[in-house]
Chains A and B, each alone.
Chain A
């Protein structure tokens, strides 16, 4: 009862914070608008530089256009229809929350916790639906995302009350991150629009920012789970690589969708950017983010390059580089790691690092040790998939062994047993789904993700007349689906562990915020006006919302070359 009241009070406090945030945003916006008008007046008076060349003016312009678009939509929307739809959404979301509460109740408890979180969850969900309805984006896509979000919270609630897998983190934290993510996502849209409208600046800016973040990580990053992807501020850890990943997506989307630039140049520049990311990610041993960047790079290349031949050439070169890098890694690994004796080699693939060598780095170059560590990490992950029995289950294989046990306990509709699995709340959340809701629940989760992807392609991407915006939203959506599928595959032991969270289900701070930013942008990119106004010949202010000029819808459809 005390826990219930505590969480309820926190939820109410949380609602107050949202209100305060909206009011603050309104005040800042009014102030910025005032400043902008003053600056514009001065510029007109001076008649010096053109308006668009002013960097800050351009950002404020985007905010201004975004706000005016929002206000126009609010004014012009069919209020009756909007209210009706929102009422339906409200009822549906309440039913979903009630269903998940029931699920918690029938599972291992925690329904009271979920009910106490119902209010903020309802607000978060309704903000997403309100946004969707306002932009007349695809309703089903948003609704599926909300199901996933609520499912994620329900899972974390169940985890919180689970004795075996219980995390000490309060689920309210998850909701706070969700809301922060949501609010940041709404604010991020004009920033993205600005970046799309100023492609050259955006590319340099994102690359520069990424490098800056990587350097910060190298200097101040804290090591966790073998990577230096985290930074701790005031006791709270932030995964900075989530930001660099997002920046990487933006860079790739802009580069690949710049049709004015020749395909060779586009690919070359994107590859250079990828190599920069790869270099830094190698230094901080964050292979999951690198994998996501490579996948998105390949997918965007396939989607946006006129011919695949050049893409195949580049991929071949990249594979060659990867092979050489593996060879170097293997050599470093051999020189750094202790040679196993014959008996050990027969029974275990896992070799332990020679303590003397680790303690005397002067014997090896730092780069050699780093390469050896990265190679060993990768090798171990592959061995855990190929031959898990060969790994010491009390050390390196502990997690995989625990995951296998959890898999074995799963049944069609959930398991009555509990199994402790390290990081089950994030990387291995799919196993928790299998444990609590069975294979049925697991399949449902995958189906939701796939349905979201297909809906996005059919109802959003194919209808979007803005090339760069389409590329960016595609990068985001493909990142979400690929992340979900890879996390699932690695959780069930069919793919090496990638160390990525399952979008919207896993417990996470930075990842949750980034997922919301991506989701909101995906919804935003599917807005009706982006297509309807584009087909009209008259210029509409909405045409420029999104930073780029819409192309006629008809011109987007052509046959594959």
Chain B
């Protein structure tokens, strides 16, 4: 029976090649699926820019949707931002004075300030649903005061704790007509956007000639190079190589030494002294004050420029008194004063003291991070004396503490407009401060920033420093 069965049944066929082909197809399809998975998840960065961007956007969007922004507090622990009533968005309590620092966050218009830079911390996407908390180095009352002192002027005030590098205030205003309020970004964005360079923080991103505040560096270079006793007879104009440099208001100062030149901001003296020094020495000193360096801070990057072409006496003379191709931000001018007051050591300024998440400190700022030994102690001491003499000359006497100061006026590209600076250093009750006030687009070259400085000096003592 069994044999009969066998005989009746034809030989079953196994198509080995077909089976192999099917198996190969399945394996090939699996490889394709795996490859697509790897490609589409974007785990290998750089394979597709679109997918990489999409991944970042999706994750950021997720974080924003699932996290309430962490709060910002000032150095005293006082809140700068507060979550609104529906528990979703954070509002800046000092809306205008802190808007450039904190920045805006909008689905439509993007992000700026710390909200952009520290997005991953602010919206950490963790399950507690609350982002990290920031403690800034600023003092909110001082910040508010600084902003108010600016009035309607375009400009900035940056204040640094000399001993540590902490930024105590960083006020900025970009328009005489309207102040920046990040809380109102949805309502005012179009108005803001019509104003040129409105979203630029003037204290850190405005790069203009420093005017006479650069004379501090020229003076430092003279002292370093044993030219502190250099004297020049001012006849109201300095001419060398077919150009003429004049003093402000065409003043004539006669025989002028370094102290007198600084007190009266004598352009002709510094032009001739610069030529005497030479481009190399002047540029070398400036570079030790971090000119031509990208200074990476915890919230922005500072840029500056000094470029004195060889054998170009005109450029050298102009640079020596703060014009020419010089470019610097007001915060870096403050850093120059900080270095002078700190016996030549320039510290990196910082804005964020610490970042705390789930009661754990996830970031702690480095205090006293040295950027450069700008000048030696002796030179610094001499400069301090000279700049203190300046301060006395500016009526910032002992009433305000031990004060150093230097004014500056730079001509702007548009004729008839001026950029005024006042950089101040102060030792008050063993605390050291440096600040720079700058006002732009002024029509009056004699606009006086000293009253602002005096008010600030009177209030600096209220800031609690460690």
Q: Contacts A408-B54, A409-B58; is A560 near B6 (CB within 8 Å)?
A: no
Of chain A, the residue at the smallest CB distance from B51 is A408
Of the listed stretches A142-150, A184-192, A244-252, A446-454, name the one at the interface; the rest are far from the partner chain: A446-454
SS class of chain B's interface: helix, strand, loop or mixed? helix
Of the listed stretches B26-34, B152-160, B239-247, B424-432, name the one at the interface; the rest are far from the partner chain: B26-34
Cβ of B193 under 8 Å from chain A: no
Q: Contacts A454-B23, A549-B5; is A560 near B16 (CB within 8 Å)?
A: yes
Residues of A within 8 A of B63 (CB): 417
Do B16 and A559 have beta carbons less than 8 Å apart? yes
Residues of A within 8 A of B26 (CB): 450, 453-454, 481, 485
Do A551 and B9 have beta carbons less than 8 Å apart? yes
Cβ of A558 under 8 Å from chain B: yes
Do A560 and B15 have beta carbons less than 8 Å apart? yes
Do B34 and A558 have beta carbons less than 8 Å apart? no
Residues of A within 8 A of B6 (CB): 551-552
Cβ of A443 under 8 Å from chain B: yes
A293 to B: closest C-beta gap in Å: 17
Give the complex CA separation of A557 and B12 in angstroms: 8
Binary B-proximity of A438-476 (CB < 8 A = 1, otherwise 0): 110011001101100110010001100101000000000
Give the complex CA separation of A561 and B14 in angstroms: 10
Which chain B residues (71-130) contact chain A, with CB distance < 8 Å?
A: 125
Give the complex CA separation of A535 and B10 in angstroms: 16
Do A539 and B1 have beta carbons less than 8 Å apart? yes
Give the complex CA separation of A560 and B13 in angstroms: 8
Partner of B23 from A449, A457, A493, A557 at Cβ < 8 Å: A457
Give the complex CA separation of A557 and B17 in angstroms: 12
Do B29 and A439 have beta carbons less than 8 Å apart? no
Give the complex CA separation of A229 and B450 in angstroms: 84
Most buried by A among B32, B41, B66: B41
Do A417 and B59 have beta carbons less than 8 Å apart? yes
Do A555 and B11 have beta carbons less than 8 Å apart? yes
B362 to A: closest C-beta gap in Å: 15
Give the complex CA separation of A558 and B16 in angstroms: 8
Cβ of B148 under 8 Å from chain A: no
Partner of A462 from B19, B22, B34, B41 at Cβ < 8 Å: B19
Residues of A within 8 A of B14 (CB): 462, 556-558
Residues of B within 8 A of A454 (CB): 23, 26-27
Do A492 and B36 have beta carbons less than 8 Å apart? yes
Partner of B15 from A303, A467, A537, A551 at Cβ < 8 Å: A303
Do A303 and B22 have beta carbons less than 8 Å apart? yes
Give the complex CA separation of A192 and B58 in angstroms: 50
Give the complex CA separation of A454 and B58 in angstroms: 38
Give the complex CA separation of A450 and B22 in angstroms: 12
Binary B-proximity of A213-239 (CB < 8 A = 1, otherwise 0): 000000000000000000000000000
Binary B-proximity of A472-501 (CB < 8 A = 1, otherwise 0): 000000100100010011001110000000
Most buried by A among B13, B17, B62, B125: B13
Q: Contacts A450-B27, A485-B26; is A405 near B16 (CB within 8 Å)?
A: no
B156 to A: closest C-beta gap in Å: 39
B61 to A: closest C-beta gap in Å: 8
Cβ of B18 under 8 Å from chain A: yes
B392 to A: closest C-beta gap in Å: 61
Q: Contacts A409-B55, A467-B12, A549-B5; is A443 near B23 (CB within 8 Å)?
A: no
Residues of B within 8 A of A485 (CB): 26, 29-30, 33
Partner of A560 from B2, B17, B58, B59 at Cβ < 8 Å: B17
Do B37 and A439 have beta carbons less than 8 Å apart? yes
Do B37 and A492 have beta carbons less than 8 Å apart? yes
Q: Contacts A409-B62, A462-B14, A552-B6; is A453 near B43 (CB within 8 Å)?
A: no
Cβ of A306 under 8 Å from chain B: yes
Cβ of B40 under 8 Å from chain A: yes
Residues of A within 8 A of B16 (CB): 557, 559-560
Give the complex CA separation of A434 and B36 in angstroms: 13
Of chain B, the residue at the smallest CB distance from A434 is B41
Cβ of B297 under 8 Å from chain A: no
Do A407 and B40 have beta carbons less than 8 Å apart? yes
Cβ of A302 under 8 Å from chain B: yes
B44 to A: closest C-beta gap in Å: 9
Do A412 and B43 have beta carbons less than 8 Å apart? yes
Do B15 and A561 have beta carbons less than 8 Å apart? yes
Partner of A492 from B10, B30, B40, B58 at Cβ < 8 Å: B40
Cβ of B178 under 8 Å from chain A: no
Tally of A interface residues using CB under 8 Å: 55
Give the complex CA separation of A453 and B125 in angstroms: 40
Q: Contacts A303-B22, A408-B55, A408-B58; is A442 near B37 (CB within 8 Å)?
A: yes
Which chain A residues (376-413) contact chain B, with CB distance < 8 Å?
A: 404-405, 407-412
Do B55 and A439 have beta carbons less than 8 Å apart? no
Do A408 and B12 have beta carbons less than 8 Å apart? no
Do B30 and A446 have beta carbons less than 8 Å apart? yes
Do A439 and B23 have beta carbons less than 8 Å apart? no
Give the complex CA separation of A454 and B6 in angstroms: 30
Do A439 and B43 have beta carbons less than 8 Å apart? yes
Do A494 and B58 have beta carbons less than 8 Å apart? no
Cβ of B38 under 8 Å from chain A: yes
Residues of A within 8 A of B1 (CB): 539
Do B34 and A407 have beta carbons less than 8 Å apart? no
Of chain B, the residue at the smallest CB distance from A450 is B30
Give the complex CA separation of A447 and B22 in angstroms: 16
Give the complex CA separation of A453 and B30 in angstroms: 11
Give the complex CA separation of A419 and B62 in angstroms: 8
Cβ of A363 under 8 Å from chain B: no
Partner of A539 from B2, B9, B17, B38 at Cβ < 8 Å: B2
Residues of A within 8 A of B2 (CB): 537-539
Give the complex CA separation of A446 and B18 in angstroms: 23
Do A417 and B62 have beta carbons less than 8 Å apart? yes
Do B37 and A434 have beta carbons less than 8 Å apart? yes
Cβ of A259 under 8 Å from chain B: yes
B146 to A: closest C-beta gap in Å: 40
Do B51 and A555 have beta carbons less than 8 Å apart? no
Residues of A within 8 A of B34 (CB): 442-443, 446
Do A556 and B12 have beta carbons less than 8 Å apart? yes
Residues of A within 8 A of B22 (CB): 299, 302-303, 478
Do B58 and A405 have beta carbons less than 8 Å apart? yes
B59 to A: closest C-beta gap in Å: 6
A538 to B: closest C-beta gap in Å: 8
Cβ of B42 under 8 Å from chain A: yes
Of chain B, the residue at the smallest CB distance from A411 is B43
Cβ of A345 under 8 Å from chain B: no
Give the complex CA separation of A412 and B66 in angstroms: 22
B100 to A: closest C-beta gap in Å: 31
A346 to B: closest C-beta gap in Å: 22
Residues of B within 8 A of A411 (CB): 41, 43
Which chain B residues (373-422) contact chain A, with CB distance < 8 Å?
A: none
B413 to A: closest C-beta gap in Å: 45
Partner of B33 from A299, A478, A494, A537 at Cβ < 8 Å: A494
A277 to B: closest C-beta gap in Å: 22
Cβ of A358 under 8 Å from chain B: no
Most buried by B among A408, A481, A539: A408
Residues of B within 8 A of A405 (CB): 58, 62
Q: List 20 A-B contacts (CB under 8 A).
A: A299-B22, A302-B18, A404-B54, A407-B40, A408-B51, A409-B55, A409-B58, A411-B41, A417-B63, A417-B66, A434-B41, A442-B34, A454-B23, A457-B19, A457-B23, A489-B33, A551-B6, A557-B14, A560-B18, A561-B13
Which B residues fall within an 8 A CB radius of A? 1-2, 5-6, 9-19, 22-23, 26-27, 29-30, 32-34, 36-38, 40-43, 51, 54-55, 57-59, 62-63, 66, 125
Given contacts A302-B18, A558-B14, 5 further A-B contacts (CB under 8 A): A404-B54, A409-B58, A438-B43, A454-B27, A478-B22
Nearest 8 A/B pairs, CB to CB: A560-B17, A408-B58, A410-B41, A408-B55, A560-B15, A555-B11, A539-B2, A494-B36
